[in-house]
Amino acid sequence: MASLRDQLGGLVYSTEQGKTCPSCRESIDDCCCEDTSEQARIANLDGIVRIRRETSGRKGKGVTTISGIPLPNAELKTLAKTLKKRCGTGGAVKDGIIEIQGDHRETLQQALTSLGYQVKLAGG
């Protein structure tokens, strides 16, 4: 039978260490799981940034997603901010993918191309 600690699976407290990471059991300060997964994500990219419009299960115009940008999360967020401003809309960053509300494929393609990325429009 699994211990309560294993069942919880999320962040757990230990009186000695404070918060510990559920993956590596290191304290959060020593943990580098996030960095490692970030590096793995970036290493797996093929250098092509893909822009895709997604409407399924979403209201109205849907969103434009940008995947494959070889940047760590902090810089992705900064880039997302710039792109949202450029499109005059909202958006978010999820799992290394930038989501921009509405259909802004052309604007985003131009913006990213001017930043030096190799950009491909994917899907419909």
DSSP state of 71: -
The interface region with Zn ion, picked from 3-11, 27-35, 66-74, 111-119 by CB under 5 A, is 27-35
User: What residues from 5 to 24 belong to the interface with Zn ion (CB under 5 A)?
Assistant: 21, 23-24
**Closest approach of Cβ 11 to Zn ion, in Å?**
10
Q: Please report whether residue 92 would count as binding Zn ion according to CB under 5 A.
A: no
Q: What is the DSSP string of 22-58?
A: TTT-SBTTT--HHHHHHHHHHHT--SEEEEEEE-TT-
Nearer to Zn ion, 11 or 92 (CB): 11
Nearest 5°: CA angle at 68, between 65 and 70? 130
Q: Please report whether residue 45 would count as binding Zn ion according to CB under 5 A.
A: no
Q: Are 50 and 97 in contact (CB under 8 A)?
A: no
Nearer to Zn ion, 23 or 110 (CB): 23
Residues at the site binding Zn ion, with contacts judged by CB under 5 A: 21, 23-24, 31, 33
